[in-house]
């Protein structure tokens, strides 16, 4: 079951913050081709609902089997550059 939270704007930025955790029922993280396909579908779904320019955040994929867990975390939305890197 996915857990998605959308927070109000980030201080000093005109962007919302999105945190999404997807608990997978099958291991799409082990094989790179499976992961790439999953990530492309997830990107399409997220950006159909939220334009990339309106938010920043993280997406975490989790798969648990027995006592082992695999996790991949990626940035989504607009990447915020540190203030000293902005021009």
Q: What is the pLDDT of residue 76?
A: 96
Q: What is the pLDDT of residue 84?
A: 67
Residue 80, pLDDT above cutoff 80: yes
Q: 13 — phi, psi (to 5°)?
A: -135, 150
When mean pLDDT is compared across 8-12, 22-26, 37-41, 45-49, the lowest value belongs to 8-12
CA–CA separation, 47 and 67 (whole Å): 34
Q: Which domain holds residue 76?
A: 3-85
Q: What is the pLDDT of residue 87?
A: 57
Residue 86, pLDDT above cutoff 90: no
User: What token pair was written down for 51?
Assistant: 């334009």
List the Cα angle 79/13/80 in 5-degree steps. 15
pLDDT digit string (tens) for 28-79?
999 999 999 999 999 999 999 999 999 999 999 999 999 999 999 999 999 8
Total tally of structural domains belonging to the chain:
1
């Amino acid at each position: 079951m996915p857990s998605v939270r959308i927070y109000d704007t980030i201080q000093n930025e005109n962007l919302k913050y999105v945190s999404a955790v997807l608990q997978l029922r099958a291991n799409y993280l082990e094989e790179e081709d499976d992961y790439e396909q999953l990530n492309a579908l997830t990107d399409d779904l997220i950006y159909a609902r939220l334009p990339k320019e309106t938010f920043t955040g993280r997406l975490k994929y989790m798969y648990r089997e027995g006592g082992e867990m695999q996790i991949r975390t990626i940035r989504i939305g607009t990447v915020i550059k540190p203030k000293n890197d902005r021009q």
